Chain A
Amino acid sequence: MEWWIFSDAFLITLFSFITVSISLNLEAGYTGIPNFGKHLFVFVGAFAAQGVGVRIAALIYEKLQPQAAQEALAQLRSMVPGATWSSLVHAAADVDANRIVVNNYLRPFFVSHVAAEALLLVTLLLVTVGLALFFGLIASYAALRLREEYLAILLLSFAELMVLVVFYQSQSLNGGNQGLWAITFTKDPVRFALVGSGVLAVIAYFYADRLANSPMGRAMRAVRDDEVAAEVFGRDIASIRLKVILISSVLAGLAGFFFIQNAALSTSLTFNRVIWTFLPWAMIILGGMANNLGAVVGTVVFLLAKRLFEYYQVQIAHLFHLGSASIAATLLPNIFIGVVMILTLYFLPQGILPEGPSRTVNFEEILAETSSEAGEAGGEESK
Chain B
Amino acid sequence: MDYILETRGLVKKFGELRALDGVDIRVPRGMVTLLIGPNGSGKTTFINVVTGVYRPDAGRIYFEGEDITELPPHERFRRGLVRSFQVPRLFTGLTVTENTAFARYGNPGEGVVSGLFRRLWEGFERETVKKAFRLLDFTKLKHLWNHRPGELSGGQMKLLEIARSMMPDNPRLILMDEPTSGVFPALAHEIFRYIRRLREEYGLTFLIVEHRLDIAVEYADYAYAMAWGKVVAEGKPHEVLEHPKVIESYLGG
Q: Contact check, B115 vs A210: say whether CB atoms are below 8 A apart.
A: yes
Is the pair B122, A361 in contact by a Cβ cutoff of 8 Å? Answer: yes
The answer to whether A215 touches B121, judged by C-beta atoms less than 8 angstroms apart, is yes
Q: A320 contacts which chain B residues (CB < 8 A)?
A: none
Cα A63 to Cα B109 with chains together (Å): 46
Q: Which residue of A lies closest to B131 (CB)?
A: A370
B77–A233 contact, CB under 8 A? Answer: yes
- Determine which of A222, A234, A246, A366 lies in contact with B129 in the assembled complex, contact meaning CB atoms within 8 Å: A366
Most buried by A among B85, B94, B114, B121: B94
Q: Are A228 and B105 in contact (CB under 8 A)?
A: no
Chain A contact surface mostly: helix
CB distance from B118 to the nearest CB of A (A): 8
Give chain B nearest CB distance to A373 CB in angstroms: 8
Q: Which residue of B lies closest to A30 (CB)?
A: B93
Q: Do the beta carbons of B105 and A235 come within 8 Å of each other?
A: yes
**Across-interface contacts of A188 in B (CB, < 8 A):** none
Task: Kindly list chain A residues whose C-beta atoms are within 8 Å of the C-beta of B107.
Answer: 215, 219
Closest chain-A Cβ to B217's Cβ sits at a distance in Å of 28
A374 contacts the other chain (CB 8 A): yes
Q: Give the residue name and chain of the A residue nearest to B109 (CB).
A: A215
Separation of A219 and B106 alpha carbons in the complex (Å)? 11
**Chain B minimum-CB-distance residue to A370:** B133
A359-377 interface bits toward B, Cβ cutoff 8 Å, 1 = contact, 0 = none: 0110100110111001000
Q: What is the minimal beta-carbon distance from A278 to any residue of chain B, in angstroms?
A: 24
Q: How far is the CA of A187 from the CA of B141 in the complex (A)?
A: 63
For the complex, what is the distance from the CA of A215 to the CA of B125, rounded to whole Å?
8
- Contact B97 A219, beta carbon cutoff 8 Å: no
In this assembly, does A191 line the interface, its C-beta being within 8 Å of a C-beta of chain B? Answer: no
Contact A357 B94 (CB under 8 A): yes
Interface check B51, CB cutoff 8 A: yes
Q: Which of A236-259 contact B (CB under 8 A)?
A: 236-237, 240, 243-244, 246-247
Measured between beta carbons, the chain B residues less than 8 angstroms from A366 are: 126, 129-130, 133
Docked Cα-Cα span, A286 to B190, in Å, equals 46
B73, B74, B91, B125: the one within 8 Å of A360 (CB): B125
Closest chain-A Cβ to B10's Cβ sits at a distance in Å of 18
> Shortest CB–CB separation between residue A265 and chain B, in angstroms?
35
A33 → B minimal CB distance (Å): 14
Q: Does B103 contact A (CB under 8 A)?
A: yes
Q: Give chain A residues whose Cβ lies under 8 Å from the Cβ of B142.
A: 367, 371
CB pair B115–A290 under 8 Å, yes or no, is no
Q: Are B93 and A355 in contact (CB under 8 A)?
A: yes
Whether A214 lies near B133 (C-beta < 8 A) is no
Taking the nearest CB of chain B, how far is it from the CB of A133, in angstroms? 13
B39 at the interface (CB under 8 A from A): no
| Closest chain A residue, CB of each to CB of B106 | A234
Tell me how far the C-beta of A22 lies from the nearest C-beta in chain B, rounded to whole angstroms: 14
Contacts of B145 in A (CB 8 A): 363, 367
Q: Is the CB of B93 within 8 A of A244?
A: no
Q: Contact check, A219 vs B94: say whether CB atoms are below 8 A apart.
A: no
Q: What's the Cα separation between A226 and B73 when bound, in Å?
A: 14
Shortest Cβ distance from residue A17 to the other chain B in the assembled complex, whole angstroms:
22
A226 touches B91 (CB 8 A): yes
- Chain B residues lying within 8 Å of A247, measured Cβ to Cβ, are 112
Q: Which residue on B lies nearest to A244, using beta carbons?
A: B112
Q: Give the Cβ gap from A371 to chain B, nearest Cβ, in Å.
A: 8
User: Which A residues are in CB contact (< 8 Å) with B92?
Assistant: 225-226
C-alpha spacing A236/B74, complex, angstroms = 6
- Is A211 engaged at the interface, CB distance under 8 Å to the other chain? yes
Interface residues of B in 125-142 (CB under 8 A from A): 125-126, 129-130, 133-134, 137, 142
Q: Check A361–B129 contact: CB distance below 8 A.
A: yes
A224 located at the interface, meaning its Cβ lies under 8 Å from any Cβ of chain B in the complex: yes
Residue among B77, B102, B106, B116 with most chain A CB within 10 A: B102
What residues of B have a CB within 8 angstroms of the CB of A232 in the complex? 51-53, 73-74, 77, 83
13 A-B pairs whose Cβ atoms sit less than 8 Å apart in the complex: A216-B110, A226-B90, A231-B73, A232-B73, A233-B102, A235-B105, A355-B93, A357-B95, A357-B97, A357-B146, A361-B126, A366-B129, A367-B133
Q: Which 3 A-B pairs have the closest CB atoms?
A: A214-B115, A216-B115, A234-B77
- Having A232-B77, A240-B110, one finds 15 other A-B pairs with CB under 8 Å, namely A214-B118, A215-B109, A219-B110, A221-B93, A222-B94, A229-B90, A231-B74, A233-B74, A233-B168, A234-B78, A235-B105, A361-B122, A363-B145, A367-B142, A369-B130
